[in-house]
Chain A
Amino acid sequence: MKNSKKSEPNFRKLTVLGEEYTTLYTRKYENRKPHKPADHKKLYSFIPGKIKDVFVEKGVAVSPGDKLLILEAMKMDNEIIAPVAGTVKKVYVVSGQMVAKNELLIEIS
């Protein structure tokens, strides 16, 4: 009989309440997404769809609640409104364009 070497588990370090432990990670823990603080000045498509209308252009001043564009998805017109006051820095899409999910639409400065 051959002596099969058991592979050593891939132990890692985990710090809890100031103590560092040797332990394994779960796949879910390894794949956790790093936190990104919300940037209200960048507007992304929350769903894939079609840009039906764009109401603003670069340099226009907007206040919270202003309609910026309409994203049509799942047969619904979704109004994309300004979450903050500012000036439109750039419009990345044009009317009639198809967009995927999480595509940058408008940036406000």
Chain B
Amino acid sequence: MTTLRQRTEELRRRMRGASRGGGEAAIEKQKATGKMTARERILAVLDSGSFHEYDLFVEHAGKDFDMDKKYFPGDGVVTGTGTINGFPICIYAQDFTVAGGSLGYMHAKKITKIMDHAMKLKVPCIGINDSGGARIQEGVNSLAGYGEIFFRNTQASGVIPQISVILGPCAGGAVYSPALTDFVFVVDKISKMFITGPEVIKTVLGEEISMEDLGGAAVHSEITGNAHFFATSENECFDQIKKLMSFIPWNNTKKADPFPIKKPKNKVFKLTEIFPTDSKKPYDVRLVIKAICDDSDFFEVHERFAANIVVGFARMNGQSVGFVANQPMVLAGVLDVDSSDKAARFIRFCDAFNIPLVTLVDLPGYLPGIDQEHAGVIRHGAKVLYAYSEATVPKITVILRKAYGGGYIAMCSNHLKADFVLAWPTAEIAVMGPEGAANIIFRNEIQNAPNPEEARKKKIEEYKEKFANPYVAAAFGYVDAVIEPLKTREFILHALEISAQKKEDRPVKKHGIPPF
């Protein structure tokens, strides 16, 4: 009879064998490209000592092409549970050193199993992607594997936070799991995402492009918007993940954990110096957010994508809130195809996970242009209206300066059922800016005047005086309070406190049909 000690020794030997990944040579190759191994990554992102691995002894199920003679440790993916800032997490990481991290039947089974766990336990799920794609030898079973993952991503959407980390190639069908999750993290020179790689593009279309230019981290964080967070190293990326987790709840029945209250750094972020009253002048709206939020700590999402709108997380008296703000510094803060997509998605995340929304408004309307019209700014712009109207979390809107036309309505106006609409005395709530409006309303008077230029100026001034202010809207009750800019934080804090128990019902339905 073997002793308990002997059995334990045998277990340890087996574990060592299964955790060695693809062997020393493959691991060296992985490291040479600036990448960590799958296990190192999991350990780096989780709290120290918290990782518990499952399915270490799973073996692949391939029978064809002599696959039955091959052994892939863990079948190329590491799965388990652990904590981040004490927050429970389910996690998996594809191991590129084992068969190129390729996805076969059992590999996918391990992933779907940990996803099912995450759903049962109602905890966030993090997926670290580093894979050459489908394991061709396993044929249709690897396709089935992807399909099972996509289905679970969709079921889990809005129930538990789902995070994808792209730390290597993620090509073909594999890209759709990250695309279905809430936040995608990429690292410069390491992440590569595309449906069709440069090779195929060259053969079929005769167009030459490098992997980096086709689907590198910079492209996805700036051009496509597929990635939400961009880092220059894997460690920076893991810090971003930990920070994000601190702002969001475990699941859709909870609120994010409160933090100790900290005042904004008002000595650094002085509203009076940051903010120009002339609505044609640019400024960085992120500085206004920092002048309002706890500790001036604003964690931006989609920082590089559609910079004409700013979205991200911050805290107000220790409570997590989502900020959405037009950015006058970029494209005058207009809504366009990309910024509408960006804002709508963020609003829906916050609404799904009980994070109140604070909207700062300063926009001239929608971006004019044939390219915008043809790219579908109508249906994309509609997403913002849909997302705000649908949201039932506390919605607080502050109109800083210009709020013209359709843009005014879209930015969580009273009409889309904001709970509180506040306006600074610099707010201009109108159908359009004074110059445009005066030119239309007083066209005849201007044309027939002895000095049309002078008449134009006079009419613009008249319009400005009468309409470019918050008081017309306030007179109709569309603005709940015109406030002193320096009292903004106090007003928002009060509004959040008052609406802490807000519960709003929507008509019962299977689901709406958002303008996807």
Contact = CB atoms under 8 A, between A and B. Distances in A.
B378 to A, nearest CB: 17
A21 B333 CA distance: 10
B330 A17 contact: no
Contact of A21 (B204, B206, B280, B369): B280
A101 B205 contact: yes
B432 A25 contact: no
Interface string B366-377: 111111001000
B132 interface: no
B311 to A, nearest CB: 15
Interface string A17-55: 111111111111100110100000000000110000000
Contacts of A28: 222-223, 338
A85 interface: no
A1 interface: no
B22 interface: no
Interface string B311-333: 00000000000000000111111
A48 B206 CA distance: 7
Contact of A18 (B204, B307, B435): B435
Contacts of A32: 369, 371
Interface size class of B (residues with CB under 8 A): 35 or more
Contact of A19 (B308, B366, B433): B433
**Most chain B beta-carbon neighbours within 10 Å: one of A9, A11, A28, A32:** A28
B222 A18 contact: no
B282 A16 contact: no
Contacts, number: 85
A32 B371 CA distance: 7
A84 interface: no
A100 B306 CA distance: 33
Contact of A17 (B282, B308, B364, B374): B364
Given A24-B282, A74-B204, A19 B435 contact: yes
Contacts of A18: 432-433, 435-437, 439
Contacts of B333: 23
Contact of A23 (B328, B368, B374, B439): B328
Given A18-B439, A32-B369, A101-B207, A23 B329 contact: yes
B424 interface: no
Interface residues of A, number: 27
B365 A24 contact: no
A45 to B, nearest CB: 10
Contact of B307 (A17, A26, A73): A26
Given A16-B365, A74-B204, A21 B282 contact: yes
A6 B498 CA distance: 44
Interface string B2-38: 0000000000000000000000000000000000000
A16 B367 contact: yes
B204 A29 contact: no
B432 A29 contact: no
Interface string B347-373: 000000000000000001111111100
B205 A16 contact: no
B50 to A, nearest CB: 41
Nearest to B339: A26
Given A18-B435, A18-B436, A29-B331, A23 B371 contact: no
B433 A23 contact: no
**Most chain A beta-carbon neighbours within 10 Å: one of B332, B370, B371:** B332
A11 B282 contact: yes
A16 B368 contact: yes
Nearest to A23: B332
B51 interface: no
B364 A21 contact: yes
A60 interface: no
B388 interface: no
A44 to B, nearest CB: 14
A94 interface: no
Nearest to A21: B332
Contacts of A47: 204-205
Contacts of B433: 16-19
A17 B331 contact: no
Contacts of A21: 280, 282, 328, 332, 364
* The 3 A-B residue pairs with the shortest CB-CB distance in the complex, in nearest-first order: A18-B436, A19-B433, A21-B332
